[in-house]
Structure 1
Amino acid sequence: MRVSTKSDYALRALIEIAGRTDGRPVSAEELGRLQEIPHGFLQAILGDLRKADVVVAQRGQAGGWRLSRPAADVSVADVIRAVDGPLVSVYGLRPEAVTYNESAEVLQHVWIAARDALRDVFEQVSIQQLADRKLPSEVTTRTADEDAWQPH
């Protein structure tokens, strides 16, 4: 899996919003400045997140962006799907929709298994956990393995 810049920026912006103790909306300008995200790109990302009901915009003098639901109820998977679509796709199709001839059909099982493994992590981690810097044990166990940090 390749994490897109769009997903990375979206998660960073949401961590910034969720980390606010005062609960006030945060302007796109401030989010962009704090996380070094280009303004135009951030506006497009926030638009995608709004369409997916992850954030809402508040207009006016004290306007900006805030989460539409508690940060604990928004997973990393929700965010990636909102800005990039399915967690795993094979030439634009969901893994269950891909068809192969008999000799290659086993590949579909690999794609399905990969999606399931990603879900094990991405659906377990919430924006609140990221903002609190407290990951679930399912994730910290995986990162405790030195081999996980090595490029292969």
Structure 2
Amino acid sequence: MLTKKAKYGLKAMVFLAGIKPGQTALVNEIATLNQIPKKFLDAILGELRNAGFVHSKKGKGGGYMLARLPADICVGDIIRVLDGPLAPIQCASRRLYRRCDDCVDDAHCVVRMVMLEARDAIARVLDNTSLKKMRAMPRMAVSQPPRSVDMALAAVCKSGPIKKRKLRA
């Protein structure tokens, strides 16, 4: 499952992918517009900086910017930095493989085989999705959250708002 850390990291990276090259964004701006706790975002951006995904500038005109083009940064790599391996269990991990304690024969373990397939499917999607591709996806405005669940559903559903029914007592 994707942690809040990775989710917030992705939201911040997509935000940074939307600013003009050479410009920076302040942590407060990213946090406010994406509803991310500022202190948590500071730590996340620090990890992303250490991994080479973002640059930071101090002082006047400072802030964060992407270290590479949005087309060159894939979602899978961001998640691996923030959350670790994509595999649902360690014996299915390509980078941090560890045999399960209760496993007698991991080469023929059907659970591991299915988890390897799941890991490969997840990796295929995430490693082929760049920040540029995410920016191009239709989405709701970040700065204006929906006022109700019905409005959120109406924004997603083509059929319009959900009709409320009266419940019988």
Provide the TM-score with structure 1 as the length reference: 0.79
Contact 2:2/2:83, CA 8 A, preserved across alignment: no
Distance 1:92 1:25, change over 3 A: farther
1:59 to partner: Cα distance: 1.3
Distance 1:89 1:52, change over 3 A: farther
User: What is the CA deviation profile of residues 41-78 of structure 1, one whole-angstrom value per residue up to 9, with x for unaligned ones?
Assistant: 00111011111111111112000001111110111101
Is 2:104 the partner of 1:101? yes
Equivalent residue pairs, number: 133
Q: Which amino acid aligns with 2:98?
A: A
Instruction: Show the 5 A alignment for 1:1-150.
Output: 2-21=1-20, 23-90=22-89, 94=93, 96-99=97-100, 100-102=103-105, 105-133=109-137
State how far apart, in whole Å, the 2-side matches of 1:18 and 1:26 are. Answer: 10
Contact 1:18/1:71, CA 8 A, preserved across alignment: yes
Contact 1:72/1:127, CA 8 A, preserved across alignment: yes
State how far apart, in whole Å, the 1-side matches of 2:98 and 2:73 are. Answer: 27
Structure 1 segments (4+ residues) deviating >6 Å: none
The Cα RMSD (Å) is 2.2
| Higher Rg of the two aligned structures | 2
Greater RCO (CA < 8 Å, at least 6 residues apart): 1
Q: Which amino acid aligns with 1:4?
A: T
The runs of 5 or more residues in structure 1 that have no matched partner are: 135-152
More helix by percentage? 1
SS of the aligned residue for 1:66 comes to strand
User: What is the CA deviation profile of residues 55-110 of structure 1, one whole-angstrom value per residue up to 9, with x for unaligned ones?
Assistant: 11111200000111111011110110111111115269836432421497222212
1:21 to partner: Cα distance: 3.0
Identity of aligned residues (%): 33
State how far apart, in whole Å, the 2-side matches of 1:22 and 1:108 are. Answer: 44
Provide the TM-score with structure 2 as the length reference: 0.71
State how far apart, in whole Å, the 2-side matches of 1:63 and 1:93 are. Answer: 42
